[in-house]
Structure 1
């Protein structure tokens, strides 16, 4: 029992430090030290209030605790024997570490899209996802700002992954870290994507900070986490997205945004 508590304390400590490091540094740079320098990259003109930051941090710490319990169950309890976790690197090729990481992100994006749409159902929203949407103008602190029920739903993706594919604990660690970094970018409140992204094939696939910021300000559409694929296939992408992205980037780089064709909003959800 004492050993389990020690392990749980270590996971919680590392997870908490990760949260304050990965979310705190961007917050310090964009919201405190270099606000004027990054002004043209700001997605929304209004500013979030101090009480928003406090609420986001407190609920993110709750989420960190819930994720700690999930990680402890998967990695350090007898439950592990029912999963496809492996600890001997020789059991699979080295390339599988990277491949399983990429596949984990794809699985997570699919899981997140459908879970996210479900949490927006009018009968569930108030009890699950409303808290996260109190951050209408999100900051990096909002990345883990979930209600108890949503935090459980968010963290449950790890159970899905370890049941579906063979994964090494190192892959799990990298998956959680990379996923959180991307999540912080999505809630940054500033667009920092490089100029070349707009005219590359990647723009048609991956999400940006503008993409997720629109979800927070409009309360619907843009349900994907890492990719635009599900939103585009199911016509749930905000029709303003590309125009808003171009406007922000034009402001950043001092260029004229391209003229966008009008988009029908009849199927937008």
Structure 2
């Protein structure tokens, strides 16, 4: 962002930044959509979480809403930049200042903080009096696609991203660590809405890996709405007993080739 603003006018720099955020989302979502929804849909149909495919009009609406989200996320990025140039953040550029160990630890910390924030905000906006204001747009995609990843109402996009400037006020972060975090976040978001489950059946029984959420986990949230609120991890859903009661059964039905274990979408 600093490079853009210093080499272009502010309006041009912001326009470029929005374009980068939106095109990055389109690029990765588009690749996965092309593979699994167009060219190889029959080859991987046994991995579909919901057997039906969403209509094209729904996907067009997802992309439309995602452009607004790209604008909001760019605005959050500008907030981070403004805080940084005024020396109000803990962003540092010298890797030796905290060492390589802390570099990777800081990525894990921000993921844990963001996951906790997301879980509780997510549950909060599912309240009947708040759902229509914040979360209805996202849940119009009951059968999500990779393009659903950014399909939010503007109000939801703001509250989901607002935690990031707050975190960097207190948590020392290298710009590369922040970049890695944003890419992990985008990856989880797209995979959570992919509509396919490619993980092995033993994944959710592994003592460590079981704490990482699967595509099935978030897809069921779109179907059932009142369960599976976590983003990256399953800590809070397990602790608060908000995992859907059929989550494991559904996951096994997709990941095992035993047709007798399949359940209705």
Q: Is this a same-fold pair by TM over 0.5?
A: yes
Q: Output the CA distance in 2 between the equivalents of 1:91 and 1:7.
A: 31
Following superposition, the deviation at residue 203 of structure 1 comes to 4.2
Residue in 1 that maps onto 2:240: 234
Q: How does 1:170-249 map to 2 (within 5 A)?
A: 170-249=176-255
- What residue ranges of structure 2 are gaps of 5+ in the alignment? none
Q: Cα deviations across residues 178-216 of structure 1 (Å, max 9, x unaligned)?
A: 101111110001101134424422343111011001100
Following superposition, the deviation at residue 170 of structure 1 comes to 1.5
Pick aligned residue for 2:65 from 59, 67, 70:
59
Q: Output the CA distance in 2 between the equivalents of 1:4 and 1:201.
A: 49
Residue in 1 that maps onto 2:111: 105
Q: How does 1:81-160 map to 2 (within 5 A)?
A: 81-160=87-166
Q: Output the CA distance in 2 between the equivalents of 1:225 and 1:97.
A: 22
Following superposition, the deviation at residue 14 of structure 1 comes to 1.9
2:36 corresponds to 1:30: yes
Q: Output the CA distance in 2 between the equivalents of 1:117 and 1:57.
A: 25
Q: Specify the SS of the correspondent of 1:67.
A: helix
Answer whether contact 1:73 1:80 (CA < 8 A) is retained. Answer: no
Q: Output the CA distance in 1 between the equivalents of 2:159 and 2:91.
A: 21
Answer whether contact 2:90 2:169 (CA < 8 A) is retained. Answer: yes
Answer whether contact 2:103 2:174 (CA < 8 A) is retained. Answer: yes
Q: Output the CA distance in 2 between the equivalents of 1:150 and 1:106.
A: 20
* Cα pair distance change 1:214/1:80, threshold 3 Å: farther
TM-score by length of 2: 0.90
Pick aligned residue for 1:12 from 3, 18, 33:
18
Following superposition, the deviation at residue 80 of structure 1 comes to 4.8
**CA RMSD, Structure 1 to Structure 2 (Å):** 1.9
Q: Specify the SS of the correspondent of 1:135.
A: coil
TM-score by length of 1: 0.89
The total of aligned residue pairs comes to 256
Following superposition, the deviation at residue 11 of structure 1 comes to 2.1
Answer whether contact 1:74 1:80 (CA < 8 A) is retained. Answer: no
